[in-house]
Amino acid sequence: MCDIPKNEDPALIVGYETSDDAAVYQLDEKTGLIQTLDFFTPIVDDPFDFGQIAAANALSDVYAMGGTPRVAMNIVCFPNSLDTSILKEILRGGAEKVKESGAVLAGGHSIEDNEPKYGLSVTGIVDPMHIWQNTGAQVGDIVILTKPLGMGILTTALKEGMVDQETIAWITKIMGTLNKYAADAVKAFDIHACTDITGFGLMGHALEMAEGSQVTLELSLNSIPYIGAALPLAEMGIIPAGAYRNQAHVMPKTAFEGDLSVALMDICYDPQTSGGLLIALPEAQAEDAMHALEQALDIPFARIGKVIPMGTHALCMKP
């Protein structure tokens, strides 16, 4: 992106410079326009479920900025060799998830391609004075993760027929859960920093938050929620290639203390699809925030660490 000419418009109050989840363009004193786009290839076999997961993933960026989705448009790539009933189910899944978010689905664009791809372009709104960014975490904050990890490992294994139906149903539910519910639950609190966990994995996105905030995030490995079925797969070495790239990027900037499980660390590097929110907020509000999340969510979440003064490493992982 460094070679792309920049349009110096002061109304663009969040661009791509800080690796934030979406762009924010200020329309007036009370309204910021959030713009984001995301799409990908199928990660589950059922086309309806794929549509729901892809839509939830695209909508997530708006929630990670503290905003509300308003308008969504479909992005579709589809081969002419497949039955159009499959495409209908993908679109139906996406439309139902957009409706659940409260946004309006207003059309979209499709092209012919050799492999199906689906996602959304989403427009949302946010108060310019209350934008959540992945920078701003403060010393003394606690760190909360609102969805369990392991999706990349499990969807990789799913393609090889190594995942049972019960686990498939469980990860489909988690990936299809809108981050709306977590975001709404904590909006009454002082959110200092927030991002959603996607392709860079927990460690990659935590690193962005730490470096952008000029602090160190101290995480507790044994507190991090994950899907139980992912652990034996990680121990077998069923790891997506993206996890190794994330690991190579993060390791030089991470201090490791104590006896840490290699498999659990692999889960922390694992790229996520439609992952949870990583939230930093004051410790004094932690108990109330956790209670609010408990009332709002029916999937695992946890307090996973705290923010400490910037040290020689941006991240510190302890047992």
Residue at which a domain ends, from 88, 106, 130: 130
Let me know whether 18 and 86 are in one domain.
yes
Same domain, 261 and 174: yes
% residues pLDDT > 70 (the chain):
96
Residue 154: the pLDDT is 98
Per residue in 261-312, pLDDT (tens digit) is: 999 999 999 999 999 999 999 999 999 999 999 999 999 999 999 999 999 9
**Mean pLDDT for the chain overall:** 95
Q: Same domain, yes or no, for 310 and 217?
A: yes
Whether 107 shows a pLDDT value over 90: the answer reads: yes
How much is the pLDDT for 7?
A: 65
Please report which confidence band the pLDDT of residue 19 belongs to, taking 50, 70 and 90 as the band edges.
low
- CATH number for the domain spanning 67: value is 3.30.1330.10
Q: What is the pLDDT of residues 251-261, one digit of tens each?
A: 999 999 999 99
pLDDT of 17: 67
Are 80 and 213 in the same domain?
no
Domain CATH number, residue 281 = 3.90.650.10
In the prediction, which pLDDT does 15 show? 73
Number of structural domains (the chain) is: 2
Residues 295 and 175 in one domain: yes
Residues 249 and 207 in one domain: yes
On whether both 169 and 195 belong to a single domain, the answer is yes
Question: Token pair of 21, please?
Answer: 């989840």
Nearby residues of 159 by Cβ (< 8 Å), 6 or more positions away: none
Torsion of CA 298, 301, 188, 197, to 10 degrees: -110
Give yes or no for residue 5 having a pLDDT over 80: no
Rounded distance, CA 311 to CA 147, Å? Answer: 28
Q: Is the pLDDT of residue 102 over 80?
A: yes
What is the SS3 string spanning the chain?
A: CCCCCCCCCCCEEECCCCCCCCEEEEEECCEEEEEEEEEECCCCCCHHHHHHHHHHHHHHHHHHCCCEEEEEEEEEEECCCCCHHHHHHHHHHHHHHHHHHCCEEEEEEEEECCCCEEEEEEEEEECHHHCCCCCCCCCCEEEEECCCECHHHHHHHHCCCCCCHHHHHHHHHHHHCCCHHHHHHHCCCCCCEEEECCCCHHHHHHHHHHHHHCCEEEEEHHHCCECCCHHHHHHHCCCCHHHHHHHHHHHHHEEECCCCCHHHHHHHHCCCCCCCEEEEEEHHHHHHHHHHHHHHCCCCCEEEEEEECCCCCCEEEEC
Q: Taking a C-beta distance cutoff of 8 angstroms, is the pair 77, 111 a contact?
A: yes
Average pLDDT over residues 176-187: 98
C-beta of residue 72 within 8 angstroms of C-beta of residue 98: yes
Asked if 74 and 206 sit in the same domain, the reply is no
CA dihedral 146, 148, 153, 154 (to 10 degrees): -110
Q: How confident is the model at residue 11 (pLDDT cuts 50, 70, 90)?
A: confident
Per-residue pLDDT at 4: 67
Verify that 158 and 273 share a domain, yes or no. yes
What pLDDT does 122 receive?
Answer: 98
Per-residue pLDDT tens digits for 30-85: 999 999 999 999 999 999 999 999 999 999 999 999 999 999 999 999 999 999 99
In a domain, 210, yes or no: yes
Domain boundary pick from 87, 111, 130: 130
| CA-based nearest residue to 41, from 30, 51, 29, 56 | 51
203-233: per-residue pLDDT in tens? 999 999 999 999 999 999 999 999 999 999 9
On whether residue 17 sits in a domain, the answer given is: yes
Query: What's residue 89's pLDDT?
Result: 98
Is 190 in the same domain as 259? Answer: yes
Residue 1 confidence (pLDDT) above 60: no
Residues spanned by the domain of 107: 12-130
Angle at 283 between CA 279 and CA 285, to 5 degrees: 80
